[in-house]
Amino acid sequence: MKKTLQILTLALLLAGLFTGVALAQDDTPTDDEVNAIASQLYCPVCENTPLDVCPTEACRQWRELIRLQLSQGMTETEIKQYFMDNYGARVLAEPPRAGLNWLVYLLPPAIILLGAFFLFRSFREWTKPKVEAAGVGGERGAASSPEKDDYVARLEEELKKRK
Amino acid sequence: MTETTPQKRGVPLWVQIVIWAFLVALLALVGVILGKRQQGTVQPGDKIPDFTLPLFSGYEYEGQSEVKLSDFQGKIVVLNFWASWCKPCEQEAAELEEAWKFYEPSGKVIFLGADYVDTEPEARAYLKKFGITFFNGPDMGTKISQLFRIRGVPETYFIDQNGALYYVKIGPFLSVDEIKSIIDQKLQ
């Protein structure tokens, strides 16, 4: 029993050792790591296709390039910068915040805010109790209620006083 | 006793003007961008603005690591857009190299290869595979291809001795004679 336990312990130790070696040797970036960056880039050949799902040969080469750059220790920012320098800003899923690109970031929220403001104003107008437009000399609705009659009478009295 | 009639407050005039001016400007911007996109490639007769092409190491021009179009004033420039992932480009690679070898000794014609959205290792492998020796480099940031408004690869642009475009070839050349006939019409 004791011997079996010793053999088992040794086997476990060796297994752990080899696993460690295997992990240390395998420093090739995984597809998930590559795609995490590729999904933030777009194929310049076929429009509107993210790099991680693009089936063209060009995109396959690019994904391999990302894998190589990751294995060389380049960061995500450095890789994206490399792609922008080499292929232009249009390959970035998120355009750089500069120049006319600011419109992309500022315009939609501005339009939403403006729309919300006008909607708020309109709703407020609609829900406000309507003040009768019948002013001086207005007959429309004047005789519709006793309150109105009273109001018109007072108004006429005021006007007479001013004459 | 004074009664005030509630007045309906509208959007101030200046706000309306600003909003309309902004919308008009936005539409104009979209119009300009769409117009440029539908322009097509540069046309024969157009004067080509100066551009800079960085060169791959081993493909330098007189020791320079980059060339400008203006460096070749007085010469015919054959500017070929290609990529290693482009299968039709392979059809014309040998023809282009053969034509370059034919005109190189005269010094009157320059061949330039602009590698379009490619990766350098694959581009180098392509150049090696087809034994290409004329000046080649990456189209950094796709600036040159945007200048010519190319639609794809391969496309080849023939620029005369005065820097004006005189012929555009969309797609691969079918033979060396086709390339020669286009060059010779300006050499004579």
pLDDT tens digits for chain B (188 residues)?
A: 455 555 556 778 898 899 899 899 989 988 998 887 777 789 999 999 999 999 999 999 999 999 999 999 999 999 999 999 999 999 999 999 999 999 999 999 999 999 999 999 999 999 999 999 999 999 999 999 999 999 999 999 999 999 999 999 999 999 999 999 999 999 97
Beta partners for B114? B81, B137
- Which stretches of chain A sit within 8 Å of chain B by CB? 44-45, 56-58, 61-62, 64-65, 84-88, 90, 100, 103, 107, 114, 125, 131, 135, 155, 158
Domain total in chain A: 2
Locus of tokens 């995490």: A36
Residues B91, B143, single domain; the answer is yes
CB burial of residue A15 (10 Å; 0-12, 13-18, 19+):
exposed
The alpha carbon torsion through B74, B76, B82, B87 (nearest 10 deg) reads -170
pTM passes above 0.90: no
Confidence of residue A142 (pLDDT cuts 50, 70, 90): very low
A56 lies in some domain? yes
Residues B30, B77, single domain; the answer is no
Domain total in chain B: 2
Residues A102, A84, single domain; the answer is no
Domain with A103, as residue range(s), is 96-124
CA–CA separation, A71 and B21 (whole Å): 51
CA–CA separation, B185 and B176 (whole Å): 15
The nearest alpha carbon in chain B to A125 belongs to: B8
Residues B33, B58, single domain; the answer is no
CA–CA separation, A108 and B90 (whole Å): 45
A84 lies in some domain? yes
Residues A85, A107, single domain; the answer is no
CATH number at residue A87: 1.10.8.640
Residues A33, A77, single domain; the answer is yes
B149 lies in some domain? yes
Confidence of residue A46 (pLDDT cuts 50, 70, 90): confident
Confidence of residue A98 (pLDDT cuts 50, 70, 90): confident
What sign does the CA torsion over A111, A116, A117, A119 have?
positive
CA–CA separation, A97 and A115 (whole Å): 24
Residue A26 pLDDT:
62
Beta partners for A97? none
Residue B38 pLDDT:
79
Residues A44, A104, single domain; the answer is no
